């Protein structure tokens, strides 16, 4: 009797099902798997050693992992901040050197730049000539006037209050004595 395709397929599937593929040498696989695991463990050991040393006091796995992740993050942020600070310092130093070179070559005579350089380096400019604009001069005079007014007000305030006057006098005397000692 001729078999239909359905029957043929069913029979073939049945034969395939019964003929289960078997591993001829499972010991060989066992050996290779263990070998590969040990090799991978060795690689991981080196990097995990330092974390184990630092976080060996934490017994809960997820807490330990979170701490490791947090510490790595903090180190990265710290490194980033340090690099940013260094970059800014380098920029500032470069700007100071640039301005100083401009001044020494006589290209820059602006009073603001000279004052900035004086603030940064604590060094007075060598040149005797200072270029100042009319606007800057007005600003300077205004500022001196304001300072004068505030000084007068302060003196008045001290004169009116005997306790304060006494306290200020004492402080001034102390300061003068210190200066004399030096």
Partner 1 sequence: MFDQKLIEECRKGNLQNFRKLVGIASQYAFSVAFRMLGDEDLTKDIVQESMVTVWQKLENIGSSESFKSWLYKIVINKCYDHLRKRKRRHEFRADEQTWAIISNHTSSDQFSELELKETAQIISFLTRNLSPKQKAVFVLGDLEEMTAEEISSITGMSTGNIKANLHYARKKMNKMMGKYI
For the CB of residue 61, give the shortest distance to partner 1 in the complex, in Å. Answer: 8
- What is the rounded distance in angstroms from the CA atom of residue 169 to the CA atom of residue 148? 21
Residue 31: HSE in the Cβ half-sphere, 13 Å Cα cutoff? 4
Q: Which stretch binds partner 1 (CB under 8 A): 12-20, 78-86, 133-141, 159-167?
A: 12-20
Q: Which stretch binds partner 1 (CB under 8 A): 36-44, 95-103, 115-123, 162-170?
A: 36-44
Question: Which lies closer to partner 1 via its Cβ, residue 35 or residue 170?
Answer: 35
Q: Which of 39, 64, 40 is nearest to 53 (CA)?
A: 64
Residues 39-68 that bind partner 1 (CB under 8 A): 40
Are 125 and 104 in contact by the 8 Å Cβ rule? The answer is: no
Question: Which lies closer to partner 1 via its Cβ, residue 41 or residue 146?
Answer: 41
CA distances from 79 to 68, 69, 83 (A): 17, 15, 6
DSSP codes, 18-61: HS----S-HHHHHHHHHHHHHHHHHHHHHHHHHHHHHHTT--SH
Q: Which stretch binds partner 1 (CB under 8 A): 21-29, 107-115, 150-158, 159-167?
A: 21-29
Residues 141-170 that bind partner 1 (CB under 8 A): none
Question: Which lies closer to partner 1 via its Cβ, residue 16 or residue 164?
Answer: 16
Are 74 and 54 in contact by the 8 Å Cβ rule? The answer is: no
Q: Which stretch binds partner 1 (CB under 8 A): 32-40, 71-79, 84-92, 135-143?
A: 32-40
Element (H, E) at 78: helix 61-104
Q: Is 30 in the site for partner 1 (CB under 8 A)?
A: yes
**Interface contacts to partner 1, rule CB under 8 A:** 3, 5-6, 8-9, 11-13, 15-23, 26-27, 29-30, 32-34, 36-37, 40
């Amino acid at each position: 009797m001729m078999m239909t395709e359905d029957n043929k397929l069913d029979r073939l599937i049945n034969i395939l099902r019964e003929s289960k593929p078997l591993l001829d040498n499972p010991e060989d696989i066992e050996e290779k798997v263990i070998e590969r695991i040990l090799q991978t463990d060795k690689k991981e050991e080196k990097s995990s050693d330092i974390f184990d040393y630092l976080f060996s006091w934490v017994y809960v796995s997820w807490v330990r992992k979170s701490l490791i992740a947090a510490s790595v993050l903090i180190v990265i942020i710290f490194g980033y901040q340090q690099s940013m600070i260094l970059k800014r310092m380098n920029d500032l130093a470069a700007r100071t050197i640039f301005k100083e070179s401009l001044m020494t070559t006589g290209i820059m005579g602006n009073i603001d730049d000279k004052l900035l350089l004086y603030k940064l380096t604590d060094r007075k400019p060598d040149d005797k000539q200072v270029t100042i604009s009319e606007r800057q001069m007005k600003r300077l005079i205004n500022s001196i006037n304001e300072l004068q007014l505030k000084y007068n007000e302060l003196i008045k305030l001290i004169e009116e209050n005997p306790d304060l006057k006494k306290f200020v006098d004492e402080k001034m005397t102390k300061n003068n004595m210190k200066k004399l000692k030096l």
